[in-house]
Amino acid sequence: MMVVWVHSLYVIPGVVEKLGESYFGGSGVDLFFVISGFIMVVTTAAKDVTVQRFFGLRIIRVVPLYWLATLATIAYAAYRHSFKGLYYTPGEIAKSLLFIPYVSGGGGTVGVWPIVLNGWTLNYEMFFYALFALSLAAPRRLRLPGLVLALGLLAVVGRLFGPFANPLASVYTSSLLLEFVAGMILADLWLRDAQRNGLFLSLLAIAIGFLCLGSVFSRFVVASGAFLVVAGCLHPRISRLQNRPLLELGNASYAIYLVHDFVLAALAWAWLWVFPSMTWASSVCFMAAALVLCAAAGWLCYRFIERPVTSRLRATLCPRA
């Protein structure tokens, strides 16, 4: 929802001028990477998972909805150009579908963007999954140290010799990889029952973490903030909290992440038709409508597309042993 908020500010000209820049910027992604590293370690710690099964389950979880979003974007681009030609090159389509970083002019600026612009984070995610899957072939005691060392060395190479013009080198040596490392280390500590801090310290960690997430001075401070927020939420008194709407929102988070740009584009078109000039009040109402509609559309996508497709593919391709 932090990502939805940031993108909503810029989809209509004038909104960000009325309401100001987002305090958290793009730090929702940093939380996402730390949580991802944490989850991968926790879900594979108590059982033997083969390389093939792990990566198969990750592909089933990530690929179907992302491919649907990519194909929908391609179809929309073709529609806007009256189907007079393929807007995206075959190479761009193939690289986007296969999570291969490449330089694109998508989003109005040149960068390492796939066809679905939000998919840039999935390029990092799938690279992390690939390395994590390979680590499962190693002896259990060497998995975490070996993967931490590999990701750390890649980040060091990027720091010492980068930035690289080649998109593959740029992504695969990014300091963002260290956020996966932070999540994995946190998971290892948590599994060893290292969460012995009092509730006050955990709440303090969450508060300081959110302050750090708004840093404009250092990526390290932002990553540290993401680490502190996730670590604080692991306190038993906090992690036992159950709230059905929030759990459903969490379940639908991947769908929300992929479909919210479609919702924002449609909402912006309708909003400007009704309110051609944006005021402070209309900007506030737009942001509220954007958050609600993106969450609702994402949940519907999760409930009626993502979950049924994922469940069917898991039962067919990766049945339980």
Is 2 in contact with 29 (CB distance < 8 Å)?
Answer: no
Kind and range of the H or E element at 59?
Answer: helix 51-80
- CA angle, 200 then 201 then 205, to 5°: 120
Tell me the mean pLDDT in the region 88-116.
87
Tell me the pTM: 0.92
What are the pLDDT digits (tens) for 59-89? 999 999 999 999 999 988 888 765 666 678 8
What percentage of the chain exceeds 70 in pLDDT? 95
How far is it, in rounded angstroms, from Cα 65 to Cα 145?
33
pLDDT at 107: 58
Is 18 in contact with 278 (CB distance < 8 Å)?
Answer: yes
What are the pLDDT digits (tens) for 108-139? 666 889 999 999 999 999 999 999 999 999 99
Tell me the mean pLDDT in the region 284-307.
97
pLDDT over threshold 80, residue 300: yes
pLDDT at 63: 96
Mean pLDDT of the chain: 91
Angle (deg, nearest 10), helices 90-97 and 51-80: 140
What are the pLDDT digits (tens) for 160-207? 997 899 999 999 999 999 999 999 999 999 998 755 678 899 999 999
pLDDT at 194: 59
pLDDT at 318: 80
How far is it, in rounded angstroms, from Cα 239 to Cα 111?
38
**Tokens linked to 89:** 């090159």
Angle (deg, nearest 10), helices 219-233 and 177-191: 30
pLDDT band at 214 (very low <50, low <70, confident <90, very high): confident
How far is it, in rounded angstroms, from Cα 249 to Cα 269?
26
